[in-house]
Structure 1
Amino acid sequence: MSDLWLPGAERLDIGDHAPTDGGPAKAIAHITWDRNATKAKPQDLVPYANLRSYFSGGGRASAPHILWDPFTGRMVQFLPANSRSKSLADRAGGTRTNRAGSVVLQIEALFFPWCRVNGKAYEKLTDTPCKGWDELNAWVASWGVANSWPMGKPNGFTGKRDERIWRMRSGWYAHAHVPENDHTDPGTWPDFTVITKKPAFEPYPGAHFFVKDSRPALGKSSPIFTAMGKRLVAVGCGKYKVGPGPVLGQADVDSYEAFQRKLGFTGSDAKWPPGPTSWNKLKVPKV
């Protein structure tokens, strides 16, 4: 099961969830393009916090799934993967652009041409460090989005739209490719990640790791608990008011039991401590 929320990204749910229509899985590449700068007159990049506040506040009607800062790798997610977002123009009576796939994952890169960061101007998105791209690409691919550009990889700010291709093929689409839209971004986009090995996960440490005197080992400290808690949040089972952190607390126990119920376990099988079957399904990253 793919994660509804991108692991490692801040989760800032704005509500207003709605289903997609089904069909080929898609991802849409945008840039925020907040300012118009030139080579002769570069402008400072708009702060990440400003866009985060905008999309979770007054601009929530046009919020994407993910706001991505390619300079720092920071990401915030506003809607779960299985909900449509509203970053695309959608005319009445035509294709429902924001819903035209099993998923339509919309990614806004914090960027505009000739933005200036720490005194350096950047003409293209691909000139930036593109930090976090590998993780972002892998998550999008986990939802069945093909690592391809059905209308060609963006190379400049020109539009190319073909509604037949849009309806029929999975993959990444530039905003410049989407029917019923007139934007020409993102201009460029990083290459797809080449996955050379599977990620390493924490092996099941045994039931004894989680208990003391037949009770949850509350107060025990381990980085494994932090990694476990982050995964429980990512799969929608987090019961945390703070954290998760390295010290095992009741919120960890409650969250894990919610995860085991989600997997279909009942009765004592859904209770703490974790068992090997549910642990392997949680896929806790190796620490």
Structure 2
Amino acid sequence: MEAPVFEDVDPAGDCECAGCVQWRRSVPHPVRTKVGARHALVIAAAAGTVIGGIQAAPATASEHHEARPGDPTPGDRPDTPQGGTSALHGAPGVAAGSVPLTQQSALRTTTRAAIINRAKTWVAAKVPYNMDKYWKDGYRQDCSGFVSMAWDLPGNEWTGSLATYGTRITKAQLQPGDILLFHNPADPEKGSHVTIFGGWTDYTRTYYIAYEQTRPGTRKQATPYAYWNNSARYLAYRYKGVKAGTTPGSGSSSTTYPGAGSFGPGANNAYVTQLGRLLVERGGKRFYSQGPGPRWGDADRRATQAFQKAQGWSGADADGIPGPTTWSYLVAGKGKDIPGSSGSGGGSGGGAGVKVPAFPGAAKFRPGASSASVTQLGRQLVKKGFGKYYAQGPGPRWGEADRRAVEAFQRAQGWRGAAADGYPGPETWRRLFS
């Protein structure tokens, strides 16, 4: 029998077939950036055919894993090979390579708002991911080049050098413009990645808005802390050149009254969050079924009004909108706390009696599962207005109608990707039953 034919082909440098991806990963980085991958087109014989006198073993089907809550989708797994440190290439008015490599003495000062705004320019342009190409601003189109651009570094860094331009911080200290960095020194091309922290999605601090450069291009999306995979290996850093100051959504505190425009219907800022937290500390926890958060709501108004009434104020002085005096009392810890009874709050307590049932665990919600928890979930989805997917039921056996209803609810929260896979996790459960 004739031997099978192998044909060498010179593909495009960004070929994504399994063979080329594996080839790029197996060849040392400096070689891979200069030499194209090689396809091997194998004309395979049918099962049982003898090749060169040796019987070929039948191919084994790839193992299939059903999606589970928290599992990343293929698009969420970073495949982010990157270049090393390099000068800017082709920046406006600058010849390629004429800018020296970054130095600690060359740190440029910037603000959190400026970092996020620069990140947004690549998101808006949907800059394609490419470890060998440079965007029109001179920065390399990979994950570390993206952070170098957002931090306004004078050159391109990589995951192995970005940490030298930052200061290690904790999860609790994260603010917009900081980064979450995973560098794998044993094999830099295996998993190494970096994202820009854009703020928490809610008070549970389990998801955050990530700005990142990954295939196919720059994106901004809700991401589980610290990342979809290798989560425990990501470290938080703050750029050494960032100026101090408050950023909406950063959780920063201010003792200066921010103005009446920061509160009331339609307001959405860090001062609303700060107000809510101060009110909770002064006895207003019962007014909040969730949060406090940055968007002004009736819970904020009623909690503020309860605090104002606790000071003996009435009429326009107890309208539920914080003025300079209310704010000064709260930030300085002055005056009386909100009484324990709901009577002084002018309401029923805004969800104080709502108790979220304990999350029964992810195993209750997967194909083939059957339990009372599935029925409980389905009925709550119907109650919340997401019941159009049920032709009958809901019932105890998990089905596609349940998954689609959960997915619709998750998308209504603004989640995308693996965060809206149709399988409830603790945060989906909490929001659904709040």
- Flag whether TM exceeds 0.5 (same fold): no
Query: Rg: which structure is higher?
Result: 2
TM-score by length of 2: 0.21
Higher relative contact order (CA 8 A, sep 6+): 1
Larger % of helix: which? 2
